[in-house]
A and B are shown apart, each in its own frame.
Chain A
Amino acid sequence: MINDVQTWVSVAAYTGAGLAMGLGAIGAAIGEGYTAAQANFAVSRNTKLSGDVFKSMLVGQAIAESASIFALVIAVLMLFYKMPDATMIKAASLLGAGFCMGFGAIGSGIGSGLPGGQACIGLARQPSIGNRLTTNMLIGSAVCQTPAIFSMVVALMLIFIDFSKAPLFPTWAAVIGAGLSTGLAAIGSGMGGGFAAGASCEGVARQPETAGPVTTTMLVGQAVAQTPSIFGLLISFVLMFKAFPESTTFAASAGLLAAGISTGFGGIGPGVGNGMAAEGAVRWVARSVENAGGLMRIMLVGQAVSQSTAIYAMVVSLCLIFVV
């Protein structure tokens, strides 16, 4: 009974669904809590606007929720979709999909709560620019979702692509590694993007006439902060689509698993750090808009240096996949 492949696929699907939803719920809840806390602050500052602040809080929380909705979709899909191919590789890839979506939703959930909170405070500070503030918040927190979207895509691919023709050893490790790589790397990028978006909402509220340069700097900063999660995506694609020769030695499997883990963990720090660099640049562009060009250049150089650790991690992963 316990050797039945179908049973193992079901076990993996249920475990994966639990992991996806359980881990995926962490981030969004934190982000929404932050938004609500800032909304309280805003209401106490400007009591007359409590209705507008309340609306703004709900919009911000709805967007922060979307990362966990992605996780919910993946979890429900794994619970109820009948897999056409029941193999042990499918079981491994379902587990990988669960890890990928669960970890991937954490960062985006936390990150997209930050612009929502800052938009509430900004609304209390400058009620007249509510529309522009909301637009800025929507753009900022939508871009924060990109790492969660990447993890959802990898999770969907792991669920639906037919791996049954590949040899079980070491492909089982490659598919779990693919899930871990994108999932873990998305944590840092999602949070980092949120820092930049929060600072831009604060900046627009402080100096409404600088909205154009502030939004541009925010987008470039967030885009660079997403680079670690893009490295994770790249490693996942290589792990999923490269045909690995059959090898029953444990070292070959462990190498592929480690390749995913390396880029995944290696991406967390640079994502957060790049977000901090972008946050600083955006905040100061709002205060001295005439230096926007110089600030953006310093931000990019600083981000490139802080990103180098993610590049080292990716180089190690590529070595593990292609050389070792």
Chain B
Amino acid sequence: MGDLGRIHQLIIPVMGHNITLNLEAIVMTWIVIALLILFGYYSSKNRGMRPGTAQIFGEMIVTKLYGLTEDALDKEKAKKYAPLITALFMFLLLCNWIGMFPHMHEPTKDLNTPLSLGIMGFFIAHYAGIRSKGIKKYLKEYCEPIFIMAPLNIIGEMSKIVSISFRLFGNIMGGSIIILVVSYLVYSLVLPPLLIAFFGIFVGAIQAFVFTMLTVVYISVQVK
């Protein structure tokens, strides 16, 4: 049970500083990216009025997520942000699902992946807010209801990054720890596939969707 919470790291000393690379997360992220590029290539290769299987899947995902983005933002802004949102959802979904294959690990199990995506969403939302409202009105919103509240408003905004990234990290890492411990206790008999179906497929899909929707909603709160 010593594996609990252990991370495989490559530490490179460079001029007195140590550069730490989390190998598992990096390699798994590359695999996910490669699979997504392959999917994109196959779903758009033979496009036609009578679509193939890959094209139907691609169109279904893109239409659904375009619709969701349009509901939260408006038509014009959706054109700008929907590609990002679609890519984010597909990346997270594959990241959360890849752990159900043997010897594969979810990149989202490593806090660095959700945290960097959360910071990315935070900056995009605030950039969108400044673009649509102007810097003056944007800054003024921090001083509501009175200017003394500004530090607390800033902490409140920062806590959004913490909550969005720890939600994904906690769910995926929690699922994998529970699967590890229970498999160890029952000698990998009967229970693990059921647990993977719940924590891997079901919770993974819901958390990918929640992360994506919250990113959209954060953008829409800033824009309007």
Interface residues of A (CB under 8 A from B): 73, 77, 139, 142-143, 146, 149-150, 152-153, 156-157, 160-162, 213, 216, 219-220, 223-224, 226-227, 230-231, 233-234, 292-293, 296-297, 300-301, 304, 307-308, 311-312, 314-315
Contact = CB atoms under 8 A, between A and B. Distances in A.
Given A223-B210, A230-B166, A300-B221, A157 B178 contact: no
Chain B interface category by residue count? 35 or more
A308 B221 contact: no
Contacts of B177: 153, 156-157
B210 A160 contact: no
B143 interface: no
A292 B70 CA distance: 12
Contacts of A312: 152
A300 B125 CA distance: 15
A213 to B, nearest CB: 7
Given A142-B203, A150-B170, A234-B166, A220 B210 contact: yes
Interface in B16-51: none
A300 B152 CA distance: 17
**Secondary structure class of chain A's binding surface, majority of residues:** helix
Given A219-B210, A230-B166, A315-B155, A296 B181 contact: no
A293 B220 contact: yes
Nearest to B182: A73
B156 interface: yes
B159 A314 contact: yes
B71 interface: yes
Contact of A216 (B68, B152, B203): B68
B183 interface: no
B192 to A, nearest CB: 14
Nearest to A151: B174
Interface of B: 1-2, 4-5, 68, 71-72, 152, 155-156, 159, 162-163, 166-167, 170-171, 173-175, 177-178, 181-182, 185, 198, 202-203, 206, 209-210, 213-214, 217, 220-221, 224
A146 B4 contact: no
A142 B171 contact: no
A77 B181 CA distance: 10
B189 to A, nearest CB: 16
A233 B224 contact: no
A142 B174 contact: no
Contacts of B171: 146, 149
Contacts of B68: 216
Contacts of B181: 77, 156, 160
B174 A153 contact: yes
Contacts of A296: 72, 217
A311 B178 contact: no
A185 to B, nearest CB: 12
Given A152-B178, A230-B162, 17 more contacts: A77-B185, A152-B174, A153-B174, A153-B178, A156-B181, A162-B2, A216-B213, A220-B210, A223-B210, A224-B163, A226-B163, A230-B166, A234-B162, A297-B217, A301-B221, A311-B155, A314-B159
